[in-house]
A and B are shown apart, each in its own frame.
Chain A
Amino acid sequence: MDWLTIFGNTASSLISPATLGYALAAIGLAVHFGFAGLLNMGIAAYMAIGAYGYAISILTFGLPWWAGVLIAMACSVLFSLVLGIPTLRLRGDYLAIVTIAAAEIVRLLFLSTTFDEYTGSADGLSGYHASFRESNPLPEGTYGFGPWEYTANGWWVRIVGILLVALALLIVWAIMRSPWGRVLRGIREDEDAVRSLGKNVFSYKMQALILGGVFGSLGGIVYALPSSVNPGVYVTSLTFFVWTALLLGGAATIFGPVLGAVLYWVVQTLLSNILPALVTAGILPFMSTSQAQTLRFILVGVALMLLVIFRPQGILGNKKELTFVK
């Protein structure tokens, strides 16, 4: 077994674009669920809107990459409004059902051949990197050390991703300690109480949906930034993976989503490298290498169940809060 490669890949996943994309999406979900109590089961749709919004702006409309980012964010705001106006008055669990359905609708719209010209339907989109790479301030070459050695473009993606994660963290940290965040957390606990204190609950929930949605769309962009937009990514299981990352780190915490996303990808990468290697080495004789790949998702599912049962507040969550979980 090639331990060096296994650990190299695992270490590399610490700052991979996928990890950063998940971290952003999980931060968005933390705003939705952890702070506002909105059970959004459609975070994959926000990521899809981010990725497609970005790629289509560049490929179809020939805009520079930063304009693509802005347009993707605007699209996510629009999606929040469309999703939120009819549903935010619903009770929490109904919202979950509606968001999961809305996410499927979004995915199928992107997949449908009707808009093939813009979305590439089943093929997805690629080849939108020129503008982003042009703006790379790093000179050509390879940088870094050990497992973290990437090309200039590889670094540029990671730098942008890390900056976006940092910015999102800063915003969430700042806003959640403000009176605005207090109202939001109040709504999570009891909407009617907050209403009786004169706060426009619907407006706050909408603002939270928009804020978290923007982070979700940025997550989708970062995820798609280095390679391509693949419609197979934005399936319901993506939503569950992001939820796993969120719950792992702690839903109502600032750094939890990032820690959760990193852990999720580190473990995923480790398993996806180590399980086939174990099979090849004859240590897991009862399965094939492709079965080993499936096994890691089973293990992730088991881990999520154990987590929710034994540490529902997540790794960074406050244990004191747990005493009062209804």
Chain B
Amino acid sequence: MSSDAATPAATSAPVPRQKSTGLHKGDIRPGVEKVDPIVIADGVTRTFGGLTAVDVDHLEIPRNAITALIGPNGAGKTTLFNLLTGFDKPDKGSWTFEGRSLSGIPAFKVSQRGQVRTFQLTKSLGLLTVLENMKLGAKHQRGESFWAGLFPFLWRKQEEEFEAKALELLARFKLDTKKDDFAASLSGGQRKLLEMARALMSDPTLVMLDEPMAGVNPALTQSLLEHILDLKDQGMTVLFVEHDMHMVRHIADWVVVMAEGKVVAEGPPDSVMKDPAVIDAYLGAHQDVDLGVVTGRIAGEVPSEAAEALAADIEQEQAADAAAFENRKAGE
């Protein structure tokens, strides 16, 4: 982390912000109740043949906070995303979004209610231009009904508003120079960015990002982290899947750990990452913290020195963040 702060950040120094705390009620354990949950899932299971991909007893996602969903490959994170957004049907279970049941609601209605997702395998619309991709994301478009569509004077003004908004977002995501290119001509990372920007066109309440930073270069990751933090400032809730522990530690207010379909741990990032079960099941005992790469996994007991090293590292990082935060406060 320390190296990160020194290198590409010279241009846009990442300013650590205060994490949201006090999100939960009572003791921290998997499935703990939240003070103000936006999503509550109960007994959601999904099996593929004999394989139980998701088996979540109880899960609450705190409102206006950034929640990270982590876990090993095949833990069921994407499947859970699919279930919550109506792209897949569970075997059983129910869940609510902002107090209203979402079980059995088709995907497009879920999105209309303000719960918008991105995909792990990016879905850019190749033969639409970048700007068209963006404008497609906007909600309540008059011109999207057939009869109104035939008469441009009915929707032209709204279209201009969407265009202005799209250009603003594209500039933020450094895609403004590409606006007239086909999305198919973008690089993999640029498509991730486009997908995320497109999701934001609808002013969602809950943004669900499936590995948003996979394949995005470090400098841009830095500025995107800022954008995600901004989303929180604007009152949105973010739920994201990410393997980059850096990013998780840096921006998440809450971390949910899944393994083999179950929620095995949750809590604020610093404490979750010290949890031996998490280190064992996911992070790996010899995790190279700075690269966020899991380099190995040792069966059985977690060697205590590895865990301690990790814990020390985390503390150091936290101290640095806190200091920077204080500095910024002092500067204001």
Query: A320: which B residues are within 8 A, CB to CB?
Result: 182
- A93 interfacial by beta-carbon distance below 8 Å: no
Is the CB of B126 closer than 8 A to any CB of chain A? yes
Question: Which A68-113 residues have C-beta < 8 A from chain B?
Answer: none
A197 and B150 within 8 A (CB) = no
- Decide if B136 touches A194 in the complex (CB within 8 Å): yes
Q: Is the CB of B124 within 8 A of A193?
A: yes
Task: Give every chain A residue within 8 A of B137 (Cβ-Cβ).
Answer: 197
A178 at the interface (CB under 8 A from B): yes
- Asked if B111 and A196 sit within 8 Å, CB to CB, the answer is yes
Q: Is B149 an interface residue, CB under 8 A from the partner?
A: yes
Pick from A171, A180, A186 the residue with the most CB of B within 10 Å.
Answer: A180
Q: Which residue of B lies closest to A192 (CB)?
A: B123
A9 at interface (Cβ–Cβ under 8 A)?
A: no
How far, in angstroms, from A185 to B125 measured CA to CA in the complex?
A: 9
Residues 141-164 of chain B: 1 if any A CB is under 8 Å from the residue's CB, otherwise 0? 111111011101001000100000
Q: How many residues of B contact A (CB 8 A)?
A: 44
Interface residues of B in 84-129 (CB under 8 A from A): 85, 87, 106-109, 111-112, 116-119, 123-128
Q: State whether B125 touches A196 (Cβ < 8 A).
A: no
Given A185-B125, A186-B128; A179-B150 close (CB under 8 Å): no
Q: Which of chain B's residues have a CB closer than 8 A to the CB of A194?
A: 125, 136
Q: Is the CB of B132 within 8 A of A182?
A: yes
**A39 at the binding interface (Cβ < 8 Å):** no
* B contact residues around A197 at 8 Å (CB): 108, 111, 116, 136-137, 198-199, 201-202
Q: Confirm or deny: A207 has a beta carbon within 8 angstroms of a beta carbon on chain B.
A: yes
The contact string, 1 if C-beta is below 8 Å from chain B, for chain A 296-326, is 0000000000000000000000001101100
A182→B150 contact, CB < 8 A: no
Q: Is B24 an interface residue (CB 8 A)?
A: no
Contact digits for B222-261, partner A, Cβ 8 Å, 1 yes 0 no: 0000000000000000000000000000000000000000
Q: In the assembly, what is the distance between CA of A178 and CA of B85, in Å?
A: 28
**Bound Cα distance from A175 to B195, whole angstroms:** 25
- The distance in angstroms between the C-alpha atoms of A29 and B138, with both chains bound, is 29
The one of A178, A185, A195 in contact with B127, judged by C-beta atoms closer than 8 angstroms, is A185
B111 touches A178 (CB 8 A): no
Q: Is the CB of A179 within 8 A of B182?
A: no
A181 within 8 A of B: yes
The minimal Cβ–Cβ distance linking A198 to chain B, given in whole angstroms, is: 4
Give bound CA distance, A304 to B250, whole Å. 58
Asked if B139 lies at the interface with its beta carbon under 8 angstroms from chain A, I say yes
Q: Which one of B112, B117, B136, B139 lies within 8 Å of A182 (CB-CB)?
A: B136
Bound-state CA distance A249–B85 (Å) is: 40
Interface string of B67-96 (1 = CB under 8 A from A): 000000000000000000101000000000
> In the complex, which of the residues A180, A193, A323 contacts B145, with contact meaning CB atoms closer than 8 Å?
A180
Residue of A183, A193, A321 near B119 (CB, 8 A) is A193
- On whether the beta carbons of B108 and A200 are closer than 8 Å, the reply is yes
- For window 196-221 of A, CB contacts with B under 8 Å fall at 196-201, 207, 211
Distance of A190 Cα from B142 Cα, bound (Å): 22
- Say if the beta carbon of B262 comes within 8 Å of chain A: no
A190 touches B123 (CB 8 A): yes
Q: What CA separation (Å) do A181 and B123 show in the bound complex?
A: 19
Interface residue? A123 (CB, 8 A): no
Q: Report whether B184 and A192 are in contact in the complex, using a CB–CB cutoff of 8 Å.
A: no
Are A196 and B116 in contact, with the CB atoms below 8 A? Answer: yes
Taking the closest CB of chain A, its distance from the CB of B193, in whole angstroms, is 15
Cβ of A174 within 8 Å of any chain B Cβ, yes or no, is yes
Contacts of A196 in B (CB 8 A): 85, 87, 107-108, 111, 116-119, 123, 199
CB distance from A84 to the nearest CB of B (A): 15
Q: Within 8 Å of chain A (Cβ to Cβ): is B63?
A: no
- Rounded to whole Å, the gap between the CB of A228 and the closest CB of chain B is 34
On whether A324 and B182 interact (CB within 8 A), knowing A181-B149, A186-B125, the answer reads yes
Interface pairs (5), CB distance under 8 Å? A174-B150, A179-B135, A182-B135, A188-B127, A198-B112
Q: Which 5 A-B pairs have the closest CB atoms?
A: A178-B149, A180-B149, A179-B143, A198-B111, A193-B123
**Which residues of B are at the interface with A, using a C-beta cutoff of 8 A?**
85, 87, 106-109, 111-112, 116-119, 123-128, 132-133, 135-137, 139, 141-146, 148-150, 152, 155, 159, 182, 184-185, 195, 198-199, 201-202
